[in-house]
Chain A
């Protein structure tokens, strides 16, 4: 597991060293982070329920306004917990 994991972690970095970093390739590389992160969260948010949706909105708003990861994360978890345990108002 360790070997295979490291191979993937180093592999992308290595492969891009073999490629000429043209403008198009650079644009592609620049677009990867956002796309990967959206891909990580989108299914979890969409297949979640009202607790996740509400928490997602709160996290995005807080992260945008405060810039604090810890604050946004804590409030997000608290909202999920509260809505899951509170009266079924939603």
Chain B
């Protein structure tokens, strides 16, 4: 009797499907907080060009509420800045939506790059996090994951930092806009570049990156000259990453 029981128990326990997640990706409140905290320095940089967006929105005739709503719903800096430049009466809706699509094509590449980690998350967690993906916190999240701190909620947390600073900056820019009507005077336009330069240092993984990065940089520079909008990011990102693959193959 005893042995039979033991056998059945054994069979039962080996039948129980183990959760064979090769890499476990936790999704916790602590991860959200960690992401938010670590993204604050970057969010300050985002604040700088959120002001720029607010100023442009004010010049385009949007109220603070309208501009803040756009920042909250769209959360895409480059696309919003370009939309403000295209804003007119009546609003060229189709042209703006099409431009938004083109400007944001880089997000396709960025989302794809998150897949190896996000695969372990439930679809609802992964796709709600995706809303909060902006260039800055995406890059920070990848750098964090590469350094071994793989927290599923990091993108959400860091995105919330960008989200909150971006909206506040938008409102400040609209209401107190005239004080910073020329951000270039203050060197604030460099905030964007500086943020990505520091993130690039964090992602650097040795001399093997030199060749693909050279390809990415040179093709982006050429594309920026000949193509409109932010196609250059898509072109450089594609060429550079494919160059890395061709080298390893």
Contacts and interface: CB of A to CB of B under 8 A. Distances in A.
B119 A17 contact: yes
B213 interface: yes
Contact of A77 (B74, B107, B190, B240): B190
Contacts of B242: 28, 31
Give the dominant DSSP class at A's interface.
Answer: helix
A39 interface: yes
Most buried by B among A8, A11, A12, A44: A8
A23 to B, nearest CB: 9
B228 interface: no
Given A38-B213, A42-B217, A32 B110 contact: yes
B203 A37 contact: yes
A70 B76 CA distance: 22
Interface in A5-47: 5-6, 8-17, 21, 24, 26-47
A44 B79 CA distance: 17
A31 B244 contact: yes
A14 B232 CA distance: 23
Interface residues of B, number: 90
Given A41-B200, A43-B220, A60-B197, A6 B131 contact: yes
A21 B113 CA distance: 11
Contacts of B212: 31, 34-35
B15 to A, nearest CB: 28
16 contacts: A14-B127, A15-B112, A30-B244, A31-B212, A32-B237, A35-B213, A36-B109, A37-B139, A38-B217, A39-B233, A40-B236, A44-B193, A47-B224, A59-B194, A69-B198, A81-B186
Given A8-B108, A39-B233, A43-B232, 13 more contacts: A15-B112, A26-B116, A27-B244, A29-B116, A31-B245, A34-B216, A35-B241, A35-B244, A36-B106, A38-B236, A40-B236, A45-B193, A76-B193
